[in-house]
Chain A
Amino acid sequence: MVAHGRQCKIEGSQATARQTAELLRSVISQQRVPYTNQAGALIDAVKAVGEQLIAANPVELAVGNIVRRVLHIIREEDLSLTTAAIGELNLSAVSDDENDDDRDGNTTLSAAAVAAAARSTLRPPSLQTLLEDTPVSAAVPQTSSSGAADKSSRSRKLKHDVIEAVNELIQDIVTCHEQIAEQAVEHIHQNEVILTLGSSRTVSEFLFAAKEKKRSFRVFVAEGAPRYQGHLLAKELVARGLQTTLITDSAVFAMISRVNMVIVGAHAVMANGGVIAPVGMNLVALAAQKHAVPFVVLAGSHKLCPLYPHNPEVLLNELRSPSELLDFGEFSDCMDFGSGSGSPLLHVVNPAFDYVPPKLVSLFITDAGGHNPSYMYRLIADYYSADDLVVQRRAIAGN
């Protein structure tokens, strides 16, 4: 898969995300885990593969997102297993040693207290837990003294749980279009005019779903130079019976005053709510803001990236081949790099992406519902752990 990634054979973030998840699932199931610190071994294995995958395709942020989500899943499952084990242990200890009430403080912690503390460690750091430390770490030596049979069943259980959770993740990735499209009826009303740019599968499913529910609306499609994928989208929409108007990207400002809502897809959503979208999107967003038109971005949760755009790891853009702008052969005399008279005067630049700042976005619709850009941190805190932001193996094993 690394070779495929390097040659960009897999197009589209959904397909990439799914392949990554399936690959990591097979890595996990093949990994041999030692008796102690199984989570650490799994995390190391996933990080090793993840590093290679990210390096192969740094522009496709979905790869990094999925790697980090799998790591978060491993940590969560490990913690929930540990607390369950401690809870059982404490309950049995309390029932056996009812007379020894004044033993060391660890065993007098009731199961409820331990569970409460563990629940707090699963969540990201918050004001509530600011003053608490983790009593779970104090109770861990208890588990190490338990029998060997207990441990081997735990190790199998961890892998099993993790693989189940990764399967759920893959299922989510595959069905993200349907879940987003379900929300279409709430946002598209009768006799509205929708503007979109280029072609995004999420947007087309969204519009089709609204059409199914018998909403009648019109769509303006900006063609999305230089790949002109807007033409394909326009064909699909017409095939479904939607009234469509095709315009050039430069005409967006002229037509925006007739539009009720802008609905677009995204390549990635950053942690501050900014959007990396196909080139030309910033133009549309600015036009929408000027005319007070809501700018709605549809993105599956695998596109949600915990990094900020200032992060040096994030490549905001990718320069594609200039042949998409000019055919080979045209202007060949201006662009002759081979001639000995120094660099040519004509450069052709073909960036693939645009960055849209969060203040231009009105609403994000993800498979987890609709949110405004400043709420993105919440979804990120749910899906990712802070330890995994840098996916690089460290010399020491463990979290």
Chain B
Amino acid sequence: MWHRSASFILDKNQNDTVYPADSVTLTPPPPSSISTPQNPNPNLNRNMSMSAYYQTRAAHHGVVTSDWLAQSQEAATRAVATGGQEIVDGGKSGRAFSVIDEFNNWRKQPDLAEAVAAIRALAAVIRNSEAKTMMELEIELKKASDSLKSWDTTSISLTAGCDLFMRYVTRTSALEYEDFNSARSRLIERAEKFGEISYKARKIIAMLSQDFIFDGCTILVHGFSRVVMEVLKMAAQNKKLFRVLCTEGRPDRSGLRLANELAKLDVPVKLLIDSAVAYTMDEVDMVFVGADGVVESGGIINMMGTYQIALVAHSMNKPVYVAAESYKFARLYPLDQKDMGPALRPIDFGVPIPSKVEVETSARDYTPPQYLTLLFTDLGVLTPSVVSDELIQLYL
């Protein structure tokens, strides 16, 4: 499943065993809650769990379908009933702080990136913690970060954001801050600022990609990425003449939403169904996609269909550009498509499907680095081999 180093696995086991002894909760958690997957929306009817991350993305960018709406209503009522999990060390009765609730609150804002929501939630943990030493604080943060990660195992930028923040905390505590309070307030301040960093990152990426969009070019875009939207917005503001081919992006149909936004900017847009990509590829000058996560090999994990488009573009010698912020770099190394944890998203075909017909419901795929030309990140315009370099610098 997830490719983690040994230390992560050891810590996780310890946390699981330590946890039931310490916690004092308002609503007593059923003892089985630790072993079942911490998924906010288990769909009991069809025995299939839905990826919370893709659910949120659909909420932000997709076209709302009726049965999805019913599922989300169900999820909301269920979340309220269970009330999340207690994270804070035992002994503090009367405090119902839950990092997962905090994270969910932040995540609801459509303009906020996942990693930013995660880091804000962790900042709230620091603020509400009563630790007196850096080690205590670090342990609390580790617990909170692990629970966030296990709550939604499918979101890569969540994991990457948590890891990045934990790494920063460890490094900051190693520097000589004589005063615990000043160190703690510095951590909180930097975490709050991270939202700005993320926003600035999008601006930097948009600026870097301006040179690559020339007058009269045709750009193919897949899925609704806020970063790619920023790139195209800035190009339109700079009065560049270009047109965009936009795939529909089933099953979220986020392409429709993107087409709407582009039409508002007076950019000529043409909608394609996903199968029409190869048909139109010869009139395309470049392909622009975002990324849910950038893996160590330099490949990307993105909405289902990206791999297909990259293959077609590569065979026709069209460049594929990826726009991704640097905090999406994750320590994963998938060797094939099934190497990642499943992120499932039920598909509404519009007609009832007989139950013995299986449906491939995975929401994302992995595009290997040899099909990508360049990565636009806030660290600069990079070739795919940079990613592992950066990760090594950060983690080793």
Contact with B382, one of A128, A312, A358, A377 (Cβ below 8 angstroms): A377
Q: How far is the CB of B330 from chain A (nearest CB, A)?
A: 11
Query: For residue B286, which residue of chain A has the nearest CB?
Result: A310
Question: Are A127 and B391 neighbours in the complex by a CB distance under 8 Å?
Answer: yes
Question: Are B379 and A113 neighbours in the complex by a CB distance under 8 Å?
Answer: no
Q: How far is the CB of B179 from chain A (nearest CB, A)?
A: 7
Question: Is A398 positioned at the interface, with any CB of B under 8 Å from its CB?
Answer: no
Q: How far is the CB of B214 from chain A (nearest CB, A)?
A: 7
Complex Cα distance A112/B259, Å? Answer: 52
Contact with A377, one of B164, B383, B393 (Cβ below 8 angstroms): B383
Question: Are B329 and A116 neighbours in the complex by a CB distance under 8 Å?
Answer: no
Question: Is B193 positioned at the interface, with any CB of A under 8 Å from its CB?
Answer: yes
How many A-B contacts at CB < 8 Å in the complex? 78
Chain A positions 369 through 395: 1 when the CB is less than 8 Å from some CB of chain B, otherwise 0: 000011111100100001000000000
Question: Are B211 and A130 neighbours in the complex by a CB distance under 8 Å?
Answer: no
Question: Are B176 and A112 neighbours in the complex by a CB distance under 8 Å?
Answer: yes
Contact with B190, one of A124, A131, A310, A376 (Cβ below 8 angstroms): A131
Question: Are B211 and A310 neighbours in the complex by a CB distance under 8 Å?
Answer: yes
| CB-CB under 8 A for A127 and B394, given A113-B176, A311-B211, A386-B380 | yes
Interface size class, chain B: 35 or more
Question: Is A110 positioned at the interface, with any CB of B under 8 Å from its CB?
Answer: yes
Contact residues in B for A125 (Cβ distance below 8 Å): 378-380
Complex Cα distance A244/B313, Å? Answer: 42
Q: How far is the CB of A12 from chain B (nearest CB, A)?
A: 29
Contact residues in B for A57 (Cβ distance below 8 Å): none
Contact residues in A for B358 (Cβ distance below 8 Å): none
Question: Is B272 positioned at the interface, with any CB of A under 8 Å from its CB?
Answer: no
Contact with A116, one of B175, B191, B384 (Cβ below 8 angstroms): B175
Interface residues of B in 370-396 (CB under 8 A from A): 373-374, 378-386, 389-391, 393-394
Q: How far is the CB of B105 from chain A (nearest CB, A)?
A: 22
Query: For residue B385, which residue of chain A has the nearest CB?
Result: A374
Complex Cα distance A308/B374, Å? Answer: 11
Question: Is A265 positioned at the interface, with any CB of B under 8 Å from its CB?
Answer: no
Contact residues in A for B211 (Cβ distance below 8 Å): 308, 310-312
Question: Are B381 and A308 neighbours in the complex by a CB distance under 8 Å?
Answer: yes
Question: Are B385 and A131 neighbours in the complex by a CB distance under 8 Å?
Answer: no
Question: Are B385 and A126 neighbours in the complex by a CB distance under 8 Å?
Answer: no
Question: Is A329 positioned at the interface, with any CB of B under 8 Å from its CB?
Answer: no
Q: How far is the CB of A109 from chain B (nearest CB, A)?
A: 8
Question: Is A108 positioned at the interface, with any CB of B under 8 Å from its CB?
Answer: yes
Question: Are A127 and B164 neighbours in the complex by a CB distance under 8 Å?
Answer: yes
Question: Is B326 positioned at the interface, with any CB of A under 8 Å from its CB?
Answer: yes
Contact with A108, one of B179, B190, B381 (Cβ below 8 angstroms): B179
Q: Which of B379, B384, B389 has the most CB of A within 10 A?
A: B379
Question: Are A126 and B178 neighbours in the complex by a CB distance under 8 Å?
Answer: no
Contact residues in B for A230 (Cβ distance below 8 Å): none
Contact residues in A for B178 (Cβ distance below 8 Å): 101, 108
Contact residues in A for B63 (Cβ distance below 8 Å): none
Query: For residue B370, which residue of chain A has the nearest CB?
Result: A359
Contact residues in B for A381 (Cβ distance below 8 Å): 380
Question: Are A130 and B327 neighbours in the complex by a CB distance under 8 Å?
Answer: yes
Complex Cα distance A101/B197, Å? Answer: 32
Question: Are B327 and A127 neighbours in the complex by a CB distance under 8 Å?
Answer: yes
Question: Is A272 positioned at the interface, with any CB of B under 8 Å from its CB?
Answer: yes
Question: Is A132 positioned at the interface, with any CB of B under 8 Å from its CB?
Answer: yes
Query: For residue B213, which residue of chain A has the nearest CB?
Result: A310
Contact residues in A for B385 (Cβ distance below 8 Å): 374-375
Complex Cα distance A105/B185, Å? Answer: 12
Complex Cα distance A378/B211, Å? Answer: 21
Q: How far is the CB of A86 from chain B (nearest CB, A)?
A: 15
Question: Is B68 positioned at the interface, with any CB of A under 8 Å from its CB?
Answer: no
Contact with B386, one of A312, A358, A373, A377 (Cβ below 8 angstroms): A377
| CB-CB under 8 A for A112 and B381, given A127-B327, A130-B164 | no
Query: For residue A131, which residue of chain B has the nearest CB?
Result: B168
Interface residues of A in 94-133 (CB under 8 A from B): 101, 105, 108, 110, 112-113, 116, 124-128, 130-133
Question: Is B182 positioned at the interface, with any CB of A under 8 Å from its CB?
Answer: yes
Query: For residue B169, which residue of chain A has the nearest CB?
Result: A131
Complex Cα distance A308/B384, Å? Answer: 15
Question: Are B382 and A131 neighbours in the complex by a CB distance under 8 Å?
Answer: no
Question: Are A130 and B175 neighbours in the complex by a CB distance under 8 Å?
Answer: no
Query: For residue A380, which residue of chain B has the nearest CB?
Result: B380
Question: Is A271 positioned at the interface, with any CB of B under 8 Å from its CB?
Answer: yes
Complex Cα distance A240/B197, Å? Answer: 60
Question: Are B197 and A131 neighbours in the complex by a CB distance under 8 Å?
Answer: yes
Complex Cα distance A195/B229, Å? Answer: 48
| CB-CB under 8 A for A124 and B379, given A105-B182, A108-B178 | yes
Contact residues in B for A272 (Cβ distance below 8 Å): 373-374, 383
Question: Is A64 positioned at the interface, with any CB of B under 8 Å from its CB?
Answer: no
Complex Cα distance A358/B374, Å? Answer: 12
Complex Cα distance A358/B385, Å? Answer: 13
Complex Cα distance A246/B226, Å? Answer: 57
Q: How far is the CB of A312 from chain B (nearest CB, A)?
A: 7
Complex Cα distance A214/B3, Å? Answer: 49
Complex Cα distance A131/B193, Å? Answer: 8
Chain A positions 120 through 153: 1 when the CB is less than 8 Å from some CB of chain B, otherwise 0: 0000111110111100000000000000000000
Q: A residues touching B (Cβ–Cβ < 8 Å)?
A: 101, 105, 108, 110, 112-113, 116, 124-128, 130-133, 271-273, 308, 310-312, 358, 373-378, 381, 386
Give 18 CB contacts A-B under 8 Å. Answer: A101-B178, A112-B176, A113-B176, A126-B394, A127-B326, A130-B197, A130-B327, A131-B168, A131-B190, A131-B191, A133-B190, A271-B381, A308-B212, A308-B381, A310-B212, A374-B383, A377-B386, A381-B380
**Supplied contacts A127-B391, A130-B326, A133-B193, 18 more A-B pairs, CB within 8 Å:** A108-B178, A113-B176, A113-B177, A125-B378, A125-B380, A126-B390, A126-B393, A127-B326, A127-B329, A127-B379, A131-B164, A131-B190, A132-B168, A132-B190, A272-B373, A272-B374, A310-B214, A374-B384
Q: B residues touching A (Cβ–Cβ < 8 Å)?
A: 164-165, 168, 171, 175-179, 182, 190-191, 193-194, 197, 211-212, 214, 326-327, 329, 373-374, 378-386, 389-391, 393-394
User: Can you list the 3 inter-chain pairs with the closest CB atoms, starting with the nearest?
Assistant: A374-B385, A374-B383, A131-B168
